A and B are shown apart, each in its own frame.
Chain A
Amino acid sequence: EAGVAQSPRYKIIEKRQSVAFWCNPISGHATLYWYQQILGQGPKLLIQFQNNGVVDDSQLPKDRFSAERLKGVDSTLKIQPAKLEDSAVYLCASSLGPPRGRAIHEQFFGPGTRLTVL
């Protein structure tokens, strides 16, 4: 079974530039997550999709970050314009379904994209 795919693996940009990340979840996984992981910290959830609808985007800085999941499969996360503090690893994860009660629905993570903003 293929895992969660992400690209690019690395990206270096100047501040105020734009950047986009792509994620392809495991086939059949309805729920997709984007996390931001700053060096020395645990991941922070940016946005959660259920199929092509947004479940939670409460921690997404909507003035500069946007995300979409057209057709309920692939997803892109965009930053425009980037700031120095956006330097981080951006992780994509997917699960069969959303966590509900005792249903674990383990999250499977991709390799992440390391973004450096200069």
Chain B
Amino acid sequence: AQTVTQSQPEMSVQEAETVTLSCTYDTSESDYYLFWYKQPPSRQMILVIRQEAYKQQNATENRFSVNFQKAAKSFSLKISDSQLGDAAMYFCAYRSLDSNYQLIWGAGTKLIIKP
């Protein structure tokens, strides 16, 4: 069974600085999707960025980018020019392309932005 691990329960960063959130996963599959979701205090889960495993190019969405290391089974999220509105829980999730399409979630990382 697939598992997703986020080893940083909490991270803090100074406003306007860059921060990287870590995620590792375990799978025997060669093709899958990886996601980063943001959950602010309002509790609404929002998709930040996604990566298809068969694509070598790292996904980028404005200030958010990923470092996808398939062999190492690592999927980190980099947030550049951190803003106060980035403060939230960040969850890494995995989805198989095979029979089980459920999202497998990590435990989350709380990101604190210092003004």
Q: Which A positions have Cβ atoms within 8 angstroms of B? A: 3, 40-45, 56, 89, 91, 93, 98-102, 104, 106-107, 109-112, 114
Contacts and interface: CB of A to CB of B under 8 A. Distances in A.
Given A102-B97, A112-B43, 7 more contacts: A41-B108, A42-B4, A43-B105, A98-B101, A111-B43, A111-B44, A112-B44
A42 B33 contact: no
Contacts, number: 47
B50 A104 contact: yes
Contacts of B93: 42
B107 A104 contact: no
Interface residues on B, range: 20 to 34
B101 A99 contact: yes
Contact of B103 (A3, A41, A100, A107): A107
Contacts of B44: 3, 109-112
